[in-house]
Amino acid sequence: DQNKNATIIQDFHTLRAQVESEGLFQARPLFFCLHLGHILLLEALAWLIIWVWGTSWTLTFLSAVMLATTQLQAGWLQHDFGHLSVFKKSSWNHLLHKFVIGHLKGASANWWNHRHFQHHAKPNIISKDPDVNMLHVFVVGATQPVEYGIKKIKYMPYHHQHKYFFLVGPPLLIPVYFNIQIIHTMISRRKWVDLAWSLSYYLRYLCCSIPMFGLFGSVVFISFIRILESHGFVWV
């Protein structure tokens, strides 16, 4: 329908003109620098609390909540760098993206780009959008889970997924599913730069945590942080 397409195109032109006139396409690098600064400050405070006052249950929990918050905030910040929407020079965006997602989160810029570009190319199409393609465990929507479950399509009793979602989805998305994907992506695609950035995060973390918790305690601590982060990511 040519007339309909012309109307839609005109609507988009009008919308673009409006948001451009309001300056919504003009990024403010200072805001993002301050965002990064508050992440670094909060992480430093989280470690300082247990370095100075010890690793009691209360302080350890408080530190974990603060570190999980920095992880969540870094996740939102890297999104803007990943879209190359902060600086006019793409190279600066790429560098900050690798720093935030790699050194501050231990993840992979290439892994995120691949997933997120697919998401924008085919949003909410189950077989194409990785953000909703969870057929190994869940089916998104109101009617499809019932249909898939009753007809026994794929792997799980999806019509009962509301009963096991809370045990599987929020606590395991980041610490298990995403981490496995990230490691597999970096190694299988030979993204050694991303791997180096990721290892720099874990090296920094272990240097901070082992003197207080030991190796096993450090693994437990970061696992708890990831679980908190995962809950925040799913529900927020």
Identity of the highest mean pLDDT range in 71-85, 115-129, 143-157: 71-85
Q: Per the domain annotation, does 93 fall within a domain? A: yes
Q: Per the domain annotation, does 105 fall within a domain? A: yes
pLDDT at 41: 98
Q: How far apart are CA 71 and CA 169, in angstroms?
A: 18
Whether the predicted pLDDT of 92 surpasses 70: yes
Q: Per the domain annotation, does 9 fall within a domain? A: no
List pLDDT tens digits, range 59-88.
999 999 999 999 999 999 999 999 999 999
Q: Per the domain annotation, does 20 fall within a domain? A: no
How far does Cα 57 stand from its chain's mean position? 27
Model confidence band, residue 2 (pLDDT cutoffs 50, 70, 90): low
125 near 114, Cβ under 8 Å? no
Sign of CA dihedral 182, 188, 194, 195: positive
Per-position DSSP letters for 99-125, written without gaps between them: IIIIITT---HHHHHHHHHHHHHSTT-
Domain of 48, in residue numbers: 28-235
| Average pLDDT score over residue span 140-165 | 84
Q: Per the domain annotation, does 69 fall within a domain? A: yes
pLDDT at 187: 97
Q: How far apart are CA 65 and CA 122, in angstroms?
A: 34
Q: Bigger pLDDT: 129 or 37?
A: 37
143 near 153, Cβ under 8 Å? no
- Could you count the other beta carbons within 10 Å of the beta carbon of residue 8? 11
| Average pLDDT score over residue span 32-52 | 97
Q: Per the domain annotation, does 197 fall within a domain? A: yes
Q: Per the domain annotation, does 23 fall within a domain? A: no
Whether the predicted pLDDT of 191 surpasses 90: yes
Structural domains of the chain, count: 1
Q: Per the domain annotation, does 106 fall within a domain? A: yes
160 near 153, Cβ under 8 Å? no
Average pLDDT, the chain: 91
pLDDT at 143: 83
| Average pLDDT score over residue span 172-196 | 95
Is this structure's pTM higher than 0.85? yes
186 near 107, Cβ under 8 Å? no
- Could you count the other beta carbons within 10 Å of the beta carbon of residue 54? 11
